[in-house]
Amino acid sequence: MLIQKKIAHKDSFEIGNRNIDYWDLEWYESSKRIIRKKTEKGIDISFKSLNEDPNFKEGDVIFENEITVTIVRIIPTETIIIKPKNNYELATLCYEIGNKHLPLFFENDELLIPFEKPIFQQFQVQGYSLKLETRKLSAQLRTSVSGHTHQNNGTLFSKIMKLTGNE
């Protein structure tokens, strides 16, 4: 079955007495424009969207008929959770994570990163308060900033620090 766009989110969609079939996605698949996977009940689904990033979220409805509704379910993954103590620590962490081009999620005042042992160990050594949990990573932060600069107007990090009031 070929699907080209999401229909709605389950919270604003009338499911009624229809069966629910889940289409399980890993966090890194949620922004792919072309995906081919089977649903929980074995239906082969090909998703193809060449116009825009689909940015699938937990609960997105991608198919319906009179019998079944197919809903996206994000598979939980091992996650590094960091709760910054202040804006300075938040800015520093975001800079370090961004400088490594790691995916970043933000939920309930916590930074979430898919687990990678070297990153976990580095942040432990640097003294950040960390924990590991299995979480559903949805809605990755998207940023668009100019590149690094080493001219008189300062670096990206110095600009971030000015925004936090910790120049």
Q: Considering the entire predicted model, what is its pTM?
A: 0.74
Domain that holds residue 114: 77-164
Q: Are 30 and 98 in the same domain?
A: no
pLDDT band at 146 (very low <50, low <70, confident <90, very high): very low
| Amino acid 156: pLDDT | 56
Q: Which CATH number fits the domain that encloses residue 98?
A: 3.30.70.790
Backbone angles phi, psi at 26, to 5 degrees: -75, 160
Q: Say how far apart CA 54 and CA 140 lie, in whole Å.
A: 12
Mean pLDDT of 67-83: 95
Nearest to 31 by CA among 144, 137, 145, 147: 137
Average pLDDT over residues 99-121: 89
pLDDT (0 to 100) of residue 9: 92
Over residues 120-142, the mean pLDDT reads 88
32-61 pLDDT tens trace: 889 999 999 999 999 998 777 778 889 999
Measured torsion, CA atoms of residues 96, 102, 105, 110, in degrees rounded to the nearest 10:
-30
